[in-house]
Structure 1
Amino acid sequence: MLIFVGIIVCMIGLGQFSPTLSRNAPQAPTSPTPEQLDRLLPTPEVHSLPPTLEQWQMAEPLDDYFSEIEPTLLGYLIWTRFPVRVFVESVAGSRSSGSNPSAIERSQQWVTSVRAAIEEWNPYIPLQAIDSPETADITIWRSAPPLQGWSASEQSGDSPTPPALPRARAAETRYQFFVDRASAAPARISHRFTIYLTPNQTADYTQATARHEIGHALGIWGHSPVETDALYFSQVRHSPPISDRDINTLKRIYQQPTRLGWEISEE
């Protein structure tokens, strides 16, 4: 039940925020009404802040971009079990490095950059690197998202629509809701994230892109309009570190009600 997918796509040189339901995601023939959700799902409530965020003193002035954050069908994307488990595709598991020494070196550089980005977020939301994608809360793959462009089926009449050139995309982050029966007793509403991160960037840009996408996966489901924030909507020449505004925004998100993490009745 209840499998929905949301996607954020980030272009190279342009960040595009587009939360959607995946066309291929299993779902009911019609979207549930708020009344149906209220009957089926737990009431949205506020969870206790993780200690790392509770200790964070919001910088003065209390500046953030919380107004840009998009709540989902089930509320804000808040983690309630810590540490959040993160799987990063390894050099050994890489599908593109093969046995070429330079390709292996690039793959290792990618892994190092992604892990450095994870460590940047770790003081705010506890994260744990794990070796298995099957048990991960967040999986990060060394892969460019599929190109999206024009297809022949879009032609109509005698004047077909000219093909749109596919846009190079640096990353894609998507979430999925599910009922967690394996690690939660009783069953609870939970979510998981998948990040596709292109291998075709420099080490600095890879770390910056990973920093940005991990921010989405930790709950910042939106973009900042200010270029000095890590979640700024576009890639910039000198990528900023995680800012006070990023953490102020993250803390406000974790103070909001959500259906995630609460017990669900399956009677």
Structure 2
Amino acid sequence: MLNKNKIKQQFLTFIILIISTVTLIICNHFPTKAEQPKLQIHPLPLTLEKWQNNNQDDYFDQIKPTKYGYLIWSKFPVKVFIDKQNKPDKNWVNSVTQAVQDWEAYLPLEIVENSELANIIILRKTPPLEIDKKGKITRARSALTTYQIYQENNILLPKFTILLSPTQTGEYIISAARHEIGHTLGIWGHSLSPKDVLYFSQIRQPVSISVRDVNTLKKIYQQPTSLGW
């Protein structure tokens, strides 16, 4: 019994170490407050400027700004890399590609073959387990999006990584991809409605990008940020 407890303790320590390392990678590139430019509002991307719908509903109140303001892109097209290593199933690649194209109607995106050129990297990889404050594993994740902030020519820019679990199949692949890509485009929060792509939980019947999703995205791009300056 002692050996089992010891092994379990070592396993949890190992998992916590992995998660701590990931957090360190995300935070290690954050510039200090002294380096941060003032919060400013970028011009609306043309695709969002043209977006009009009689339904003005959104879930902007569920979106929380970061210490850098809202996570907004200002240089387009945003470059997306889809991992094709280890020859993933064609259905997986096609589903993720379709998810990128779905969002492309609202923000200019470009799929690139070189990950070093990408602003968003999508990997077919199991996300780390979620562990609570007591060190207990709470649940397995089907997808996870993280970001880091870096400087290029004294301009603050984000870089995102999406992990999509290899266990996802069928329509759940494109559903998860749509959801996570929505986060990378600036919707850093969740909807409370199952009719929206950014609904906080996975549902049986995947949905397309909703009017509320786009209204929320447009409102986000009308907010101040220190990114891109």
Q: State whether TM-score is above 0.5.
A: yes
Residue 173, structure 1, aligned to residue 164, structure 2: no
Identity %: 46
Runs of 4+ in 1 over 6 A off after TM superposition: none
Contact 1:174–1:195 (CA under 8 A) maintained in structure 2 = yes
| Structure 2: tracts of 5 or more residues without a match | 1-21
| Structure 1: tracts of 5 or more residues without a match | 1-20, 98-103, 155-160, 182-186, 263-267
Q: What root-mean-square deviation, in Å, do the aligned CA atoms of Structure 1 and Structure 2 show?
A: 2.1
Contact 1:87–1:133 (CA under 8 A) maintained in structure 2 = yes
Residue 150 of structure 2 aligns with an amino acid whose one-letter code is: F
- Which residue in the other structure is 2:77 paired with? 83
Contact 1:59–1:244 (CA under 8 A) maintained in structure 2 = no
In 2, Cα distance between equivalents of 1:58 and 1:45: 26
Contact 2:72–2:227 (CA under 8 A) maintained in structure 1 = yes
- Which residue in the other structure is 1:22 paired with? 23
- Which residue in the other structure is 1:53 paired with? 48
CA separation of 1:165/1:258 partners in 2, compared to 1, >3 Å: closer, same or farther?
closer
In 1, Cα distance between equivalents of 2:137 and 2:37: 44
- Which residue in the other structure is 1:231 paired with? 198
In 2, Cα distance between equivalents of 1:22 and 1:242: 30
Contact 1:177–1:191 (CA under 8 A) maintained in structure 2 = yes
For this pair of structures, how many residues does the alignment match? Answer: 207
* 1:85-234 matched pairs, under 5 angstroms: 85-90=79-84, 93-94=85-86, 107-149=89-131, 164-165=136-137, 167-181=139-153, 187-234=154-201
Deviation at 1:40, TM superposition (A): 2.8
Of residues 64, 72, 91, the one that matches 2:66 is 72
SS at match of 2:102: helix
In 2, Cα distance between equivalents of 1:180 and 1:82: 16
Residue 112 of structure 1 aligns with an amino acid whose one-letter code is: N
TM-score between both structures, scaled by the size of structure 1: 0.73
In 2, Cα distance between equivalents of 1:82 and 1:189: 15
Residue 246 of structure 1 aligns with an amino acid whose one-letter code is: D
TM-score between both structures, scaled by the size of structure 2: 0.84
Contact 2:130–2:141 (CA under 8 A) maintained in structure 1 = no
Contact 1:47–1:80 (CA under 8 A) maintained in structure 2 = yes
Deviation at 1:168, TM superposition (A): 1.8
SS at match of 1:257: coil
SS at match of 1:259: coil
